[in-house]
Amino acid sequence: MKKIIAALATSVLMLTNAVAQTLPPPNIAARSWLLLDATSGQIIASQDPNARIEPASLTKIMTAYVTFGALRDKKIDLKQMVNVSTKAWKVDSSSSKMFIDPATPVSINDLLYGLMVQSGNDAAVALAEAVAGDESAFVVMMNKEAQRMGLTNTHFANPHGLPSPENYSTAQDLSILAKRVILDFPEFYKIDSVKSFTYNKITQPNRNRLLWLDPTVDGMKTGHTEAAGYCMIASAHRPNGANERRLISVVLGTSSDQSRTQESQKLLNWGFQNFDTVKLYSKGQAIATPEIWKGSHSSVKIGFTNDVLVTVPKGVAAKMKPLLERKDPLVAPLAENSRVGTLKMMVDGKPLLELPVVALETVDQASIFGRAWDSLRLWMK
């Protein structure tokens, strides 16, 4: 199964390269950037997506993800009150804070809003201590999650993103992390859309300016340090035929708050205006029922283990034509999910992408007489 998923990822990469050659991306004033279609899982365009950068407060997305996991597993509770440690209270006084106080316990719920809306570094430390007991243990959890997600160019040194040589990531890794938050914890992701939050009688606005400028944007996070520049991950969902489509933009290392907002908006608009996401096949849908030899059945259903969605330039979807290449003859026994061929989506006679096709059912061997008869038939072909 892992090989099939890897093959699907390779197919998406092939499609991404084809798209990049046919539709030049916009000029984005950033050190590194990427646009991900979260609906299809496909990278539409990017520039230096694997360049190592300092993620600054984008680190807090992983802090939130680990905390959401602890809530899901009932290790903590939203109403749970947390005693504020001196370490959390004294975190870099010149950095962003939600202004918690050791004299006043604070709820996990308020800390999450302080983390994602106010970008509080004090909230990040308090959540880390509440979830894992101390900050260092929480960082271990962050890096385990990064490894599980396949973020091979990411390492976290703290839960807030204050400068450290051991705190680094890439645009591509951060896009994967952003998508996982949206897919795995939609009930908590909605916090990102809150425009302001008040704690300790101090109201602070969300630093994601797109929440005011674009009603289709419903999250993510901003970050800034001197080394990182101004960074932003933004996510928007807009109509896509009868359904909706979600894009995630990652813009890293711009020159100002205004620039990261403008460049993120430019990237999202370009993606929505120039591309469509189409569903080609459903999970488990039989795209063919070819003959199988020496089996308990005379044919086998073949298709895909997941829904197949692709993102293509507008107008291309109507031109796509499927070309199925099978590994004939198919001979039993054949296990479910065994690869049996490749489906190529052709445009103007050229392959736009290739998808691994698998058996959707197990076919056992026929009786000895059935196998003998099919062996004779194969020999006579």
Distance set, CA 161 to CA 2, 206, 225, 358, 370 (Å): 33, 17, 9, 43, 66
Catalytic residues: 57, 60, 119
Phi and psi at 247, nearest 5°, equal -115, 150
Please check whether residue 137 is in contact with residue 156, taking contact to mean a CB–CB distance below 8 angstroms. no
Task: Please list the residues that pair with 350 across neighbouring strands.
Answer: 347
Helix (H) or strand (E) holding 322: strand 321-326
Going by C-alpha positions, the residue among 33, 96, 31 that lies closest to residue 60 is 96
Going by C-alpha positions, the residue among 156, 127, 111, 119 that lies closest to residue 67 is 127
Distance set, CA 353 to CA 20, 134, 264, 347 (Å): 13, 47, 28, 9
Going by C-alpha positions, the residue among 104, 120, 100, 102 that lies closest to residue 112 is 120
Residues in contact with 147: Cβ distance below 8 Å, sequence separation at least 6, in sequence order: none
Going by C-alpha positions, the residue among 206, 216, 193 that lies closest to residue 271 is 216
d(CA 196, CA 69): 24
Would you state the structure tokens that stand for residue 229, as one six-digit string? 């520049």
d(CA 142, CA 65): 9
d(CA 69, CA 66): 5
